[in-house]
Amino acid sequence: MGFFAHVAEELQRADAWWTILVGALVNVACGLLGCYLVLRRLSLLGDAISHAILPGLAVAFMLTGSRSVIPMFVGAMVVGVLTAVLSETIHRIAKVPEDASMGIVFTTLFAIGVILITRAARQVDLDPGCVLYGEILNVVLDKRSFLGIEMPAALLPLGGTLVVVVAFILLLHKELKIVTFDAHLATAMGINAIVVHYVLMAMVAATTVAAFESVGSILVVAMLIVPGATAHLLTDRLGWMLLLAAVHGVISAAGGYLLASHPAINTSVAGMMTVVAGAQFGLAVLLAPRYGLVSKWLHRASLALRIVREDVLAILYRWQEAARQQPLSTRDVSASLGGGPMPAVAIWLLERARRLRRTAGGLSLTPAGVEVARGLVRSHRLWELYLAKHFNLPLDHLHEPAMRMEHFIDERLREELVDAAPDASVDPHGRRIPAAANQSGEKS
């Protein structure tokens, strides 16, 4: 069966929609809180809490003999906050690195939790694998009627958890934002950063508990980290980051379920949701508009090409300034820039932009090209004059830094350089500094 035929068939089943909805609720709730963990560089603490609350769950179950929501939430939140407190205390008192202190606390508590759950499972129907790995497909087996609609019983607590998380973010938006970006400023403004921190940790613990039966203790870690990390690559604004993390969670839920349920794959749904989340992060690493590898490469390539274009203009300007009779050929210009394909591409682009033209004898600047080249040479020689005047550098140390800086000096900075050297008529080598002119900028 083809993938799209499989998708069409699955989306006709009500159980598929319920499963995707349950996964989306978990992913969005974890993703929203994860944004703050990622921004505060506390992703490992979210990992620690999601593992370390196991003993809280085990003790709550052993004391009450029930897996009801309230005891589990209380046990998880107590141990979750305890994890944050112990990690900070060990880091501060024992002078252990912060990541090491979190690792010590969560691995110890996690191991204790596994032992307690394993012992409890000997007498009762409590599957450690369900707690650790989860089985989201089973949520549709236990349904309840709500407002006349048969829906999975897990939907109500998960939906309630998401509502609480959204309400928490809306009510404490200002406090969370200030504490996240500058805890010292928050304290100076009268915001108790420690309380906000521990309330956030309690929310992480509570959300982790709600997610246990669907994605388990281990896989919920991905939902606390990956959506926030992906959104952080895509935007620098907190509001958009939260929205993108939520969208990321929904896509992970739908894509993970549809892929995992395909007969050719037939694997863990929760695990595939995590894989889809990781795939989205990988795409963001490559294609994010500002921080992606491709965009960075394109930016560097564009900058390199702009510099070569400007170097071509400056070379032709200096050649014409020296009143040489023989014009420069394309081969001459390319050789002066080290050869390779870049100078040829730069010359072609400059021709299209009408900055230079080809003649029978070689290359020459158009009036527009002269205008841009004059600004570049003026920047170069003003910078040499500035370095010689204020840093007393030898003459043979002036050209190279000026060659680099001439591409980043605009008209405003040129005027500041003139103010710093009122006698700016010739450079330290005795060459005339071109007069100021209206600069159109080399944008092509």
- Enumerate the domain spans of the chain: 3-288, 297-420
Question: Tokens representing 304?
Answer: 């390199």
The residue to which tokens 């560097």 are assigned: 300
Angle value at C-alpha 412, between 410 and 417, nearest 5 degrees = 95
Per the model's pLDDT, the better-predicted residue between 251 and 8 turns out to be: 251
pLDDT > 70 in the chain, percent: 92
In this predicted structure, which of 175-189, 217-231, 292-306 has the lowest mean pLDDT?
Answer: 217-231
pLDDT > 90 in the chain, percent: 39
Q: How confident is the model at residue 380 (pLDDT cuts 50, 70, 90)?
A: very high
Q: Do domains 3-288 and 297-420 have the same CATH topology?
A: no
pLDDT at 441: 44
Which CATH number applies to 297-420?
A: 1.10.10.10
Arithmetic mean of pLDDT, 163-182: 94
pLDDT at 217: 65
Q: How confident is the model at residue 122 (pLDDT cuts 50, 70, 90)?
A: low
SS3 358: strand
pLDDT at 38: 93
Arithmetic mean of pLDDT, 218-235: 89
The residue to which tokens 């499989």 are assigned: 6
Is 60 exceeded by the pLDDT of residue 106? Answer: yes
Arithmetic mean of pLDDT, 118-130: 58
Cα distances (angstroms) measured from residue 116 to each of 60, 70, 94: 11, 19, 28
Is 70 exceeded by the pLDDT of residue 443? Answer: no
Question: Tokens representing 275?
Answer: 């894989």
CATH class of 3-288: mainly alpha
In this predicted structure, which of 198-212, 305-319, 386-400 has the lowest mean pLDDT?
Answer: 198-212
DSSP state letter for 32: H
pLDDT at 343: 92
pLDDT at 287: 93
pLDDT at 439: 40
Is 60 exceeded by the pLDDT of residue 354? Answer: yes
Q: How confident is the model at residue 442 (pLDDT cuts 50, 70, 90)?
A: very low
Per residue in 222-255, is it b (16+ CB within 10 Å) or e — as a string? bbbbbbbbbbbbbbeebeebbebbbbbbbbbbbb
Arithmetic mean of pLDDT, 23-42: 92
Arithmetic mean of pLDDT, 171-188: 92
Q: 116: part of which helix (H) or strand (E)?
A: helix 98-123
**Packing angle, helices 367-391 and 411-420, rounded to 10:** 40
**pLDDT tens for each residue of 56-85:** 878 887 888 776 767 877 887 788 788 888
pLDDT at 127: 53
Per the model's pLDDT, the better-predicted residue between 67 and 173 turns out to be: 173
Per the model's pLDDT, the better-predicted residue between 270 and 334 turns out to be: 334
Question: First-to-last CA distance in the chain?
Answer: 50
pLDDT at 440: 41
The pTM is what? Answer: 0.79
Is 80 exceeded by the pLDDT of residue 428? Answer: yes
